[in-house]
Amino acid sequence: MSYLVIDHLTRSYAGRPVVQDLSLSVERGTFLALLGPSGCGKTTTLRMIAGLDTPDGGEIRVDGRNITGVAPHKRRMGVVFQSYALFPHMSIGSNVAFGLRMHGLAGGERRRRMAEAIALVGLADHTDKRPRQLSGGQQQRVALARALAIRPDVLLLDEPLSALDAKLRKDLREEMRGILRRAGATTVFVTHDQAEALSIADVVAVMNQGRIEQIGAPEEIFERPSTPFVASFVGRSASFTGIVEDGAVRVEGGAVLHGNGLPASGPVRIVVRPHRIRVLAEGDGAQNALSGTIAALDYTGELVEIIVDTPTGRVPVNVATADAAWHRYGAGQTIRVGWDVADTLVFPA
């Protein structure tokens, strides 16, 4: 049986639905990422699990217990807030020991558990400092230690890395994953950053407008998006609309594209990931091919993204920069690009 179960959860603010009939379940020890654009209801969902917000309908169960009506201080949820919400008037040690104190742990045991949690995040030398004396990354780790110290049933992280700069974010992401693995905590992580969600989570739930669009392993979400929203929100993609005719799709500009699982007729949307598209050399063929002119080259380091304008629409193509071959390409050149039928995602339009 699943450890954390969210059952038909609903919440609206002033008549505007924020979370709509949301259901999901998480196994013990699993790291779940709630991924979605801002305003999709992911933070509200997290706050309802923590008990800081009350659902209008539905149920939240942990380990079979219904906790929907339980006050937040009786829930044992460890929460790391986006702003960390460290107590500014307390030392790092007191911050981490706060939850232990509230759970009635006395003297030696409290000190031992506090030291253990602070050591887990590698801040043992900073126990007596105040939060404002620490850097953003250190504060984030204190918040994590404080939440983990009470050995929560579920650890809830609300965009815990969003206040940090890009480099630190990536380092801390890996570190945090390591810490949580060691702690064995069941974790729900809210983020709008798809790279973060894909790299850190065991399971990703993509949310949009208060609903879950797709839930699955990171690779599944990325390679087999089940809705156009997931395809466009997670990762970059080329997207065309067309009409099914004679088992193929006639797209704008007259080209014909092939795909698996096409409907018998009617309008469809075709989505292709840039890393599945390749540049076709002279005489090369592909199951789906388009020709166009290079609009721009977007150099990002390991990859260069070639933006190709075709009569059908704009197509981004990823080319590795490991060899210098990409220097051949320049804006204004005519180019042919192609991809396989298996990499063609088809959605009803």
**Interatomic CA distance for residues 131 and 140, integer angstroms:** 10
Nearer to another protein, 92 or 150 (CB): 150
Nearer to another protein, 115 or 303 (CB): 115
Q: Distance between alpha carbon 175 and the CA centroid of its chain, in Å?
A: 17
Nearer to another protein, 48 or 290 (CB): 48
288: left (phi over 0), alpha (psi -120 to 50) or beta: beta
Provide the binding-site residues for another protein, judged by CB under 8 A: 50-52, 71-79, 81, 83, 85-89, 98-99, 102-103, 146-147, 150, 156
Query: Looking at the chain, how many residues does it have?
Result: 349
Task: For the CB of residue 78, give the shortest distance to another protein in the complex, in Å.
Answer: 7
Nearer to another protein, 88 or 330 (CB): 88
Encoding tokens for residue 263? 């409907």
Nearer to another protein, 96 or 306 (CB): 96
Residue 289 DSSP class = E
Task: For the CB of residue 157, give the shortest distance to another protein in the complex, in Å.
Answer: 12
Cβ contacts of 216 within 8 Å, gap of 6 or more: 203, 204, 224
Nearer to another protein, 34 or 79 (CB): 79
**Interatomic CA distance for residues 103 and 76, integer angstroms:** 9
Encoding tokens for residue 266? 């009617």
Task: For the CB of residue 59, give the shortest distance to another protein in the complex, in Å.
Answer: 20
Phi, psi of 253 (to 5 degrees): 90, 0
Task: For the CB of residue 111, give the shortest distance to another protein in the complex, in Å.
Answer: 17
Task: For the CB of residue 290, give the shortest distance to another protein in the complex, in Å.
Answer: 50
Q: Are 233 and 216 in contact (CB under 8 A)?
A: no
**Interatomic CA distance for residues 115 and 129, integer angstroms:** 14
Task: For the CB of residue 52, give the shortest distance to another protein in the complex, in Å.
Answer: 5
